[in-house]
């Protein structure tokens, strides 16, 4: 074993007021490499020690922003590049719906990064020893005493002056703390074979537990109860009901909450005669109509209503909304076709609200007028 060298000089104090006073005096003296140890947190200690802003916050900021950027790039790549899909007419990269993902990844990255920074840069992990460990000083400050330690490598350190200074500020005990530089090293040991072996064993164990949990445990009783519960799946036959179907239609006469029943199903003439568009030609209504037209109508009718939509050729081509027949229809008749459907065109009564249907009628009228404008419209 190598020769012991002086690590620091420690001082013991008996009350919180004494340790606050000692910390203030030590900081005023100009010592930089000193620390205070107490059995519990003491309010005002950072100010007494004149500690600067912790660098840990910068680490949390960097890792958090990295998580934000990673989540943004991940969602952009998945939605707009790797697997683009049109969902409800939304753009491939709709930023608002990715905000929760970005927020969660930001918090996760900041938390993990903060812990890693504390362990490896502040606590010198995997170093597991420190000169203060197993000393009488540490036993006392972990129980009911308070202590100050001034390290020997401080620029202002002078053995005699430090001991005299600590005695003058009211220390009840002043002692030297020695250490073995070979046994207790502050150099990081991340690349030591023992630590790398520990990481490897830990990774193997975690991987094994994860594999077993996801591929075996989740299929065992009782964890498989949610997957294998007694239930009837959609389209599955059933012996419980006389018709043999498991899916049940709504009770006759029921309507969903907030829905106004459409009274003209199967009666296009009455709809044409009685229905009047309650909406005015405003920018807001036209924007709403355009939005719903682009989502529900344009795949077949085309963006300008000429029957040249993206599904042309896959179904019987729809008529142009600019034909004489459709142009002479009343607003109520167009609304009826949207609500009930016609020929192979399905009903959009559940996909669009009453207001959205009428707004779509307004937009169809705007398209018709745009393509069939008169001189008086100029």
On whether both 9 and 127 belong to a single domain, the answer is yes
Residue 44: inside a domain, yes or no?
A: yes
pLDDT value of position 191: 74
Residue 222: inside a domain, yes or no?
A: no
Residue 81: inside a domain, yes or no?
A: yes
On whether both 142 and 7 belong to a single domain, the answer is yes
On whether both 137 and 279 belong to a single domain, the answer is no
- Segments forming the whole domain that contains residue 347: 268-371
Residue 318: inside a domain, yes or no?
A: yes
Distance of CA 45 to the CA centre of its chain: 36
Find residue 12's DSSP bridge partners: 147, 173
On whether both 166 and 66 belong to a single domain, the answer is yes
On whether both 37 and 157 belong to a single domain, the answer is yes
pLDDT value of position 186: 55
On whether both 38 and 163 belong to a single domain, the answer is yes
Nearest of 121, 118, 119, 126 to residue 195 by alpha carbon = 126
Nearest of 282, 311, 280 to residue 298 by alpha carbon = 311
Find residue 8's DSSP bridge partners: 151, 177
Alpha carbon distances (Å) from 51 to 54, 55, 147: 8, 11, 17
- Long-range contacts at 99-104 (CB < 8 A, ≥ 24 apart): 101/71, 101/75, 102/67, 102/68, 102/71, 102/72, 102/75, 104/71
Q: How many domains does the chain have?
A: 2
Among candidate residues 144, 165, 190, the one where a domain is terminated:
190
Among candidate residues 190, 215, 235, the one where a domain is terminated:
190
Per-residue pLDDT of the chain (378 residues; tens, 9 = 90+): 457 889 999 999 999 999 999 999 999 999 999 999 999 999 999 999 998 888 889 999 999 999 999 999 999 999 888 888 777 677 888 888 889 999 999 999 999 999 999 888 877 777 767 888 889 999 999 999 999 999 999 999 999 999 999 999 999 999 999 987 665 555 666 677 888 898 899 999 999 999 999 898 888 888 888 888 888 888 888 888 888 888 888 888 787 776 777 888 888 888 888 888 998 989 999 999 999 999 989 888 888 888 888 887 777 788 888 888 888 899 989 999 998 888 888 888 888 888 999 999 999 999 888 887 777 665
* Through-space distance between the first and last CA atoms of the chain, rounded to whole angstroms: 101
Find residue 174's DSSP bridge partners: 11
CA–CA separation, 165 and 147 (whole Å): 14
pLDDT value of position 64: 96
Q: Which residues of 49-84 are buried (b: 16+ CB within 10 A; e: fewer)?
A: beeeeeeeeebbeebbeebbeebbeebeeebeeeee
Whichever domain contains 288, its CATH number is 1.10.760.10
Residue 376: inside a domain, yes or no?
A: no
Q: Global pTM?
A: 0.47
Q: Tokens standing for 268?
A: 């296009």
Decide: 317 and 309 in contact? Cβ < 8 Å: no
Residue 249: inside a domain, yes or no?
A: no
On whether both 138 and 18 belong to a single domain, the answer is yes
On whether both 7 and 151 belong to a single domain, the answer is yes
Place of tokens 């924007």: 287
**R_g (Cα) of the chain, nearest Å:** 38
Residue 287: inside a domain, yes or no?
A: yes
Residue 7: inside a domain, yes or no?
A: yes
Among candidate residues 135, 160, 190, the one where a domain is terminated:
190
On whether both 290 and 182 belong to a single domain, the answer is no
Decide: 181 and 5 in contact? Cβ < 8 Å: yes
On whether both 276 and 181 belong to a single domain, the answer is no
């Amino acid at each position: 074993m190598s020769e012991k060298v002086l690590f620091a000089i420690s001082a013991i104090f008996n009350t919180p007021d004494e340790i606050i006073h000692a910390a203030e005096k030590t900081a005023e003296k100009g010592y930089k490499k000193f620390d205070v140890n107490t059995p519990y947190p003491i309010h005002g200690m950072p100010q007494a020690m004149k500690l600067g802003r912790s660098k840990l916050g910068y680490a949390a900021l960097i890792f958090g922003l990295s998580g934000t950027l990673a989540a943004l790039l991940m969602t952009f790549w998945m939605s707009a590049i790797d697997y683009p899909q049109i969902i409800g007419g939304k753009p491939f990269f709709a930023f608002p719906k990715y905000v929760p993902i970005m927020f969660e990844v930001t918090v996760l990255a900041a938390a993990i990064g903060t812990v890693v920074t504390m362990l490896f840069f502040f606590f010198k992990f995997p170093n597991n020893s420190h000169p203060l460990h197993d000393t009488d000083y540490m036993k006392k400050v972990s129980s009911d005493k308070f202590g100050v330690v001034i390290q020997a490598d401080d620029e202002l350190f002078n053995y005699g002056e430090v001991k005299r200074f600590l005695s003058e500020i009211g220390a009840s005990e002043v002692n030297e703390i020695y250490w073995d530089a070979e046994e207790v090293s502050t150099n990081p040991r991340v690349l030591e074979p023992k630590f790398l072996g520990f990481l490897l064993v830990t990774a193997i164990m975690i991987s094994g537990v994860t594999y077993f949990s996801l591929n075996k445990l989740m299929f065992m009783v009782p964890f498989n109860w949610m997957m294998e519960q007694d239930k009837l799946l959609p389209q599955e036959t059933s012996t419980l009901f006389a018709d043999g179907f498991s899916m049940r239609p709504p009770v006759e006469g029921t309507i969903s909450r907030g829905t106004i029943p459409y009274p003209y199903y199967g009666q296009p003439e009455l709809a044409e005669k009685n229905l009047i568009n309650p909406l005015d030609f405003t920018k807001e209504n036209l924007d709403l109509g355009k939005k719903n037209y682009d989502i529900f109508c344009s795949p077949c009718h085309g963006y300008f209503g000429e029957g040249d939509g993206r599904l042309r050729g896959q179904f019987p081509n729809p008529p142009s909304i600019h034909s004489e027949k459709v142009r002479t229809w009343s607003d109520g008749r167009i609304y009826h076709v949207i609500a009930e459907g016609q020929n192979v065109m399905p009903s959009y009564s559940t996909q669009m609200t009453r207001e959205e249907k009428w707004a779509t009628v307004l937009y169809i009228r705007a398209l018709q007028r745009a393509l069939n404008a008169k001189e008086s419209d100029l």
